[in-house]
Amino acid sequence: QVRLVESGGGSVQAGGSLRLSCASTLSTTSAYCMSWFRQAPGKEREGVAGIDSDGTTNYADSVKGRFTVSKDNAKMTLYLQMNSLKPEDTAMYYCAADLVFSPRQMLIPTEFGHWGQGTQVTVSS
Residues forming a β-bridge with 117: none
Supply the pLDDT for residue 29.
Answer: 86
Supply the pLDDT for residue 94.
Answer: 98
Which helix H or strand E contains 68, and what residues bound it? strand 67-72
Please say if the pLDDT value at position 16 is more than 90: yes
Supply the pLDDT for residue 28.
Answer: 86
Each residue's pLDDT tens digit, 64-107? 999 999 999 999 999 999 999 999 999 999 999 999 989 999 99
Sign of the CA dihedral with 26 first, then 47, 80, and 12 last: negative
Torsion of CA 35, 61, 56, 105, to 10 degrees: 60
CA dist., res. 83 & res. 14, Å (int): 10
Please say if the pLDDT value at position 113 is more than 90: yes
Quote the DSSP letter at residue 121.
E
Each residue's pLDDT tens digit, 27-78? 988 899 999 999 999 999 999 999 999 999 999 999 999 999 999 999 999 9
Supply the pLDDT for residue 112.
Answer: 98
